[in-house]
Amino acid sequence: MKVLTTFKTKAVIKEDMEKSFPKVEFLWKESIDEAEPELHEAEVLITYGVDLTEEHIEKANKLKWIMVVSAGVDDMPLEKVAEKGISVTNARGISAGPMGEYAIAMLLQVERKAKELYEKEKAHEWSRAVKMVEISGKTMLIAGTGAIGQEVARLAKAFRMRTIGISKSGRAKENFDETYTIEELNIQLGNADYVINVLPATTETEKVFGTEQFDAMHNEAIFLNMGRGTTVDEKELIDALKQEKIQHAILDVMEEEPLNEQSPLWSLENTTITPHLSGISRHYQPRGFEIFKKNLDAYLKNEEFPLNQIDARKGY
């Protein structure tokens, strides 16, 4: 059986995989272009997902399983994958730690006025007039109550925050004081000081956040998006920021990436932009391959995947 990769894999991971599965032939390629000549022979493909096209899937005649070393699969040709009956698993949950830290760090950056303090430091200005705000005891609403949302809520609890979760089902989840369905989002937004969006990109979540939602927030609210850019109507967010309907937006993901240099978001003072890096960690690949190892062990025994199987028709 041949397992093919489309990205540069750490040497220590290669050694571990080959030692753990001596009967599997691993083809360690560093890009989809390098991997393409081997696609027709691969039974398993390991990818970050963003490099695959329908043409690649058509060429992969023996492909039975795609492992996506990422939580999001929205950039993949899922319709073609489903059509060919190829199984898909992902690395959902491995970004929860760094993304939780990112959310808290960015909220502290805004509320403790880190940008303003930095500017005063550069100007050699000793000023104690900077008006900083505590995040302790505030209310945080998190749209998306999966592994990432639960980790953000857990960290929020260290600051004695009230945590409200929003999801499709509204089921109770760990670290949330209250949970509601997506249909109840607008009602709950007015209760939140911090609105954290970690929703995935699906047809159901497209532009969930727009004028109606920003109007429902109070004007001191901070909105943070580290889910997917397509879940927010960017134009309507820009209007809300210009009209100061909310205090600040922290954006790690955009409708189109990279963000256009001419976008007004770059120059709005009440906006913080980071280039889709909230989940980056040097532990990312090792954690992703730990999931793959457990699933590969099951696959070789003709058992069901124990972790993170995706329905390609639904995208989650």
Residue 71's pLDDT is: 82
Q: Does domain 96-273 have CATH number 3.40.50.720?
A: yes
Say which CATH topology domain 2-94+283-310 has.
Rossmann fold (3.40.50)
Q: How far apart, in Å, are the Cα atoms of 246 and each of 106, 190, 238?
A: 16, 11, 11
2-94+283-310 and 96-273: identical CATH topology? yes
Q: Considering the chain, what percentage of its residues have pLDDT values greater than 90?
A: 96
Q: Which is nearest to 165 in space by CA: 135, 211, 196, 136?
A: 196
- pLDDT reading at 106 higher than 90: yes
Report the alpha-carbon distance of residue 305 to residue 13 in Å, rounded: 21
- pLDDT reading at 129 higher than 90: yes
- pLDDT reading at 126 higher than 90: yes
All structural domains of the chain with their residue ranges: 2-94+283-310, 96-273
- Entry field: residues in the chain: 316
Q: What is the pLDDT of residues 294-312, one digit of tens each?
A: 999 999 999 999 999 999 9
Q: What is the pLDDT of residues 243-293, one digit of tens each?
A: 999 999 999 999 999 999 999 999 999 999 999 999 999 999 999 999 999
Burial of 298 (0-12, 13-18, 19+ CB in 10 A): middle
Q: What is the pLDDT of residues 139-168, one digit of tens each?
A: 999 999 999 999 999 999 999 999 999 999
Count other C-beta atoms under 10 Å from residue 109's C-beta: 16
Burial of 19 (0-12, 13-18, 19+ CB in 10 A): exposed
Residue 8's pLDDT is: 97
- pLDDT reading at 13 higher than 90: yes
Residue 168's pLDDT is: 96
Q: What is the pTM of this model?
A: 0.92
- pLDDT reading at 24 higher than 90: yes
The three state secondary structure string of 266-299 is HCCCCEEECCCCCCCCCCHHHHHHHHHHHHHHHH
Q: What is the pLDDT of residues 196-221, one digit of tens each?
A: 999 999 889 999 999 999 999 999 99
Mean pLDDT of 220-233: 98
Q: Which is nearest to 163 in space by CA: 184, 193, 186?
A: 193
Residue 72's pLDDT is: 81
- pLDDT reading at 171 higher than 90: yes
